[in-house]
Amino acid sequence: MMYKWLRTPSVFTTVLLLCLCGGAAAEESSRPLSLIDAPLPGELPRISGKYDSAQPSAMPSQTVPSLNASSGVYNQPISSTISVAQMGQAQGVALSGGQLQAGLRFTLSADQVVTAAHLALKFAVSPALAQRNTALQLMLNGQPLGNVPLTTNGQETGTYQIEIPAALVVSDNNLSFRIINSDRLMCERDNDQQYSVTILPSTTLQLEGQQLNVGADIGNFPRPFIDAMQMATASVPMVFPTEPTADQVSAAALVASWMGIQTNGRDITFPVKRDSVPEQNGILFGYPGQKIGRVTLPQVDAPTLQLMDNPDNPIYKLLLVVGKDEEQLRQAAYHLVSQPLTGKQTSITVTPLTLPRHKSYDAPRWISTDRRVRFSELLEQGQIMTSLGIWHSAQNLKFRAAPDLFLWDGETIPVHISYRFPAESWIDENRSDLNVTLNGTFISNLPMVKEGLLEQLWRRLGGDNRQEAYTLKLNPYLIYGFNQLQLYFNIRPKADAPCSVLLNNNIKSRIENDSWIDLTRTRHFTMLPNLSYFIGASFPFSRLADYSQTVMLLPERPSDQEISTLLGMAGRSGDATGVSINHNRVVFGVPKDGVERHRLQNSDVLAVTTLSHGGFNKALLAESPYQTDGHALGVKTPSLFEQWVNWLTGDWSRHPIDADRYFSSNEFWRGFVSYRSPWNPQRVAVVVLATNDQQLQRLHGDLTSAHITAAVRGDTAIITDENGVRSFRVGPQFPSGQMPWYMMIIWYANQHAVILAFVALIMASLGGAGLYHVLKRRAHRRLHPQDARDSGQK
């Protein structure tokens, strides 16, 4: 009876929302109430699951029903969807072998109250496990939700729709799965590997609830625009006047880059609107007195930040970033992302500050190359390097690195690992090891005991032959812009070990704090352009992470989607480096002279465009390997002389003809091209482009796919819906980075083998010809001494 009362929305939910509304009305800016302390039901239902052909949405969504602003309520109905992939398990959750239980952590925004929750569970089960007629137990925050039969009726996957009591869903949640009778399955040691079930990444949690009014307090920033607890895709509308200026877009890019830092790898979009207020939260950029929809920006003389209710829906907020010119807008945006916004206030008049400048390669999210870096410095907040029990998850160490790290052939990167296994007599020391992988590539199995005849003899004599430290040698090509080092303690029990020890979670294995990775012998040197560097780390623009040597180009009259794409690139840069692009410069059109032209000559160039901007594209690509006729993009055919030069210099991996054919064979596409900057031969230009705005909009989804981003390389990457991504290299590359002149000579000789061979052949021919004449004269004098004397007498 108690459970039925809790399941009735008309009673429990209504009373809860009335309390919340009353609290919000009494004090609009007070901290919203939470269900964390709500009483849990004493009895929970068994699941009556059935197969459903409905396909859960793979992409996160958030819908907002319309609400009349005059209704006077202080909460807004919302709905959202979170997938297992967004919970951090891109490959799903696999229960197999001895790992027959696992959990998922998901979090929700603190200013949302859940009133209904549904789990669309999709799983794949092995035939052996399906035949055992067992079930999967689900629990949320320690409370059982019920059991799902592990059978698919002959199909590849099973689908269940499960209703979850809303009272169980709080801000920080743990959804766990366990195979019923898993203890008995683990004891079947010869067959345990054939029992497996995978919770597919397309499994989704659908939530309905209420968005609470947190009040117009700028001290809450970045809430309500983004929330660190929100796992679903964040969407922050950027709003401009009817005719946005480069100054306003530059300020928006600064804010977008900082929001990319805050999301820390989670997805975020920046839809652009002009002269209209968004339905939800939004950030407005403009000059004093300008009108954007129903909002008139304040008439001020200094940089100003102001937070106000959305006139169309007071639940949501609008943040105004106002300045009279480029410098004031930059000051306002920088204050928003850098200064502590304390105190209860709705408006801030910004005092101008000197914006700090970054040095090359000082991005805080990039691992240091000046010293050894301990593993403990790479841990995320709350992460420990200890594993409990026999069956456990791998220890994951994530770190970013500058993508242009260079070592000579034969040199390696040392990684020292100190580790300790449990000291239990039932552990098979000869079969247990520490498995090490980097970015999915197997590196080594580090044994629990030292191997070798002398070590075994020492052990038989009573000595200690445990191996608890080892230094690996990593090849430099294994280090990417984003890296994940996995360490898994593979503990194997002896054949006669009792089954009860398999469930012993009191034993622990750990990675010691004195483990380290050493990149001090690396140099920053590479060949550019290289689109894989741009996709993985926004390089080379992130070399100076604040973009002080980067110009971002847009067409003279950019579309909303082109501006949105540029803001998305700014967000990706912030996420990659941990630095907001405080010194970025946005320019509309290709400048022909003046200050903006001078900036082009001293900067790398990042451009966003579509094929409809024919004049802009022609100016942008004029001295590049690409060409455009206003409706299509192609690759210039190299001349016979250029082909001979490429062959002589050993540049044999260019495929301009193949790329040109691929461009011409696809009507709709999006992608990237990169080439040596025509304004400075030591700089790089990267162009993000598409056939139209619809294709450009799809690029954001492409960049969330690990499969697509891993395939982007070279200087040309074309993405289509039918074929995915195709990458080519069509233009010349040039060396960039730090290398002494004497080492550059060796490097050039190594890179240009054909030229080196020709030079050696010419030098050998000249030397041989000279030596031949010398030896010929000596032979003549030896054989004809009389001629030599006669010649001397003459």
Average pLDDT over residues 91-95: 88
The model's confidence at residue 511, banded by pLDDT at 50, 70 and 90, is: very high
- State the pLDDT at residue 400: 95
| Residue of higher predicted confidence among 515 and 455 | 515
CA–CA separation, 395 and 399 (whole Å): 13
CA–CA separation, 406 and 737 (whole Å): 9
Average pLDDT over residues 616-638: 92
- State the pLDDT at residue 282: 97
Strand, helix or coil at 552?
Answer: strand
Q: Is residue 691 a contact partner of residue 668, using CB atoms and an 8 Å limit?
A: yes
- State the pLDDT at residue 739: 84
Using the predicted structure, report yes or no on whether residue 65 has a pLDDT greater than 80: no
**Do 513 and 539 reside in the same domain of the chain?**
no
Q: Across the strands, what pairs with 633?
A: 628
Per the structure, how many domains does the chain have? 5
Q: Is residue 295 a contact partner of residue 56, using CB atoms and an 8 Å limit?
A: no
Using the predicted structure, report yes or no on whether residue 606 has a pLDDT greater than 50: yes
3-state secondary structure 123-180: EEECHHHHCCCCEEEEEECCEEEEEEECCCCCCCCEEEEEEECHHHCCCEEEEEEEEC
Average pLDDT over residues 258-266: 91
Using the predicted structure, report yes or no on whether residue 327 has a pLDDT greater than 50: yes
**Do 652 and 588 reside in the same domain of the chain?**
yes
- State the pLDDT at residue 589: 95
**Do 107 and 67 reside in the same domain of the chain?**
yes
Structure tokens at 129: 């496990």
**Do 515 and 531 reside in the same domain of the chain?**
no
Nearest to 332 by CA among 344, 343, 347: 347
| Residue of higher predicted confidence among 399 and 34 | 399
**Do 261 and 192 reside in the same domain of the chain?**
no
- pLDDT tens digits, 381-401: 888 999 988 888 889 999 999
Low-confidence winner among 38-52, 73-87, 618-632 (lowest mean pLDDT): 38-52
Kindly tell me the sign of the dihedral angle through the C-alpha atoms of 25, 27, 29, 34. negative
| Residue of higher predicted confidence among 248 and 124 | 248
| Residue of higher predicted confidence among 672 and 43 | 672
**Do 615 and 762 reside in the same domain of the chain?**
no
The model's confidence at residue 177, banded by pLDDT at 50, 70 and 90, is: very high
Domain of residue 765: give its range: 752-793
| Residue of higher predicted confidence among 622 and 792 | 622
Residue 582 lies in a domain: yes
Using the predicted structure, report yes or no on whether residue 463 has a pLDDT greater than 70: no
The model's confidence at residue 67, banded by pLDDT at 50, 70 and 90, is: very low
Using the predicted structure, report yes or no on whether residue 8 has a pLDDT greater than 60: no
CA–CA separation, 645 and 639 (whole Å): 10
**Do 536 and 660 reside in the same domain of the chain?**
yes
Kindly tell me the sign of the dihedral angle through the C-alpha atoms of 216, 218, 224, 225. positive
- pLDDT tens digits, 420-441: 999 888 899 889 999 999 998 9
Residue 218 lies in a domain: no
Low-confidence winner among 183-187, 248-252, 612-616 (lowest mean pLDDT): 183-187
**Do 534 and 441 reside in the same domain of the chain?**
no
What values do phi and psi take at 229, rounded to 5? -85, -10
Low-confidence winner among 20-29, 344-353, 542-551, 738-747 (lowest mean pLDDT): 20-29
Using the predicted structure, report yes or no on whether residue 725 has a pLDDT greater than 80: yes
Using the predicted structure, report yes or no on whether residue 37 has a pLDDT greater than 60: no
What CATH number is associated with residue 285?
3.30.379
- pLDDT tens digits, 188-222: 665 666 788 899 999 999 999 998 888 888 988 99
- Give whichever of 20-24, 33-37, 451-455, 616-620 has the largest mean pLDDT: 616-620
Using the predicted structure, report yes or no on whether residue 266 has a pLDDT greater than 50: yes
Using the predicted structure, report yes or no on whether residue 56 has a pLDDT greater than 70: no
| Residue of higher predicted confidence among 697 and 345 | 697
Low-confidence winner among 228-237, 600-609, 715-724 (lowest mean pLDDT): 228-237
Using the predicted structure, report yes or no on whether residue 69 has a pLDDT greater than 60: no
- State the pLDDT at residue 462: 64
The model's confidence at residue 528, banded by pLDDT at 50, 70 and 90, is: very high
Using the predicted structure, report yes or no on whether residue 502 has a pLDDT greater than 90: no
The model's confidence at residue 550, banded by pLDDT at 50, 70 and 90, is: very high
Residue 412 lies in a domain: yes
Using the predicted structure, report yes or no on whether residue 59 has a pLDDT greater than 70: no
Average pLDDT over residues 720-733: 94
Residue 652 lies in a domain: yes
| Residue of higher predicted confidence among 690 and 784 | 690
pTM for the structure as a whole:
0.84
**Do 655 and 677 reside in the same domain of the chain?**
yes
Share of the chain above pLDDT 70, in %: 85
Residue 362 lies in a domain: no
- State the pLDDT at residue 614: 92
What's the mean per-residue pLDDT of the chain? 85
Q: Is residue 528 a contact partner of residue 561, using CB atoms and an 8 Å limit?
A: no
Helix (H) or strand (E) holding 308: strand 304-310
> What is the chain's alpha carbon radius of gyration, rounded to the nearest angstrom?
32
- State the pLDDT at residue 130: 82
Using the predicted structure, report yes or no on whether residue 183 has a pLDDT greater than 50: yes
**Do 390 and 408 reside in the same domain of the chain?**
yes
Residue 680 lies in a domain: yes
Buried-state track 238-277, b at ≥16 Cβ within 10 A, e below 16: bbbbeebbbbbbbbbbbbbbbbbbbbeebbbbbbbbeeeb
Helix (H) or strand (E) holding 562: helix 560-577
The model's confidence at residue 15, banded by pLDDT at 50, 70 and 90, is: very low
- State the pLDDT at residue 156: 65
CA–CA separation, 323 and 325 (whole Å): 6
Residue 220 DSSP symbol: G
What CATH number is associated with residue 411?
2.60.120.260
Residue 742 lies in a domain: no
**Do 682 and 782 reside in the same domain of the chain?**
no
Residue 406 lies in a domain: yes
| Residue of higher predicted confidence among 780 and 372 | 372
**Do 513 and 530 reside in the same domain of the chain?**
no
Using the predicted structure, report yes or no on whether residue 91 has a pLDDT greater than 90: no
Last-in-domain residue among 487, 521, 555: 521
Nearest to 169 by CA among 202, 205, 214: 205
| Residue of higher predicted confidence among 96 and 126 | 126
- State the pLDDT at residue 751: 73
Residue 713 DSSP symbol: -
- State the pLDDT at residue 33: 30
CA–CA separation, 173 and 175 (whole Å): 7
Average pLDDT over residues 268-297: 96
How far CA 550 is from CA of 287, 353, 404, 764, in Å, comes to 24, 21, 18, 47
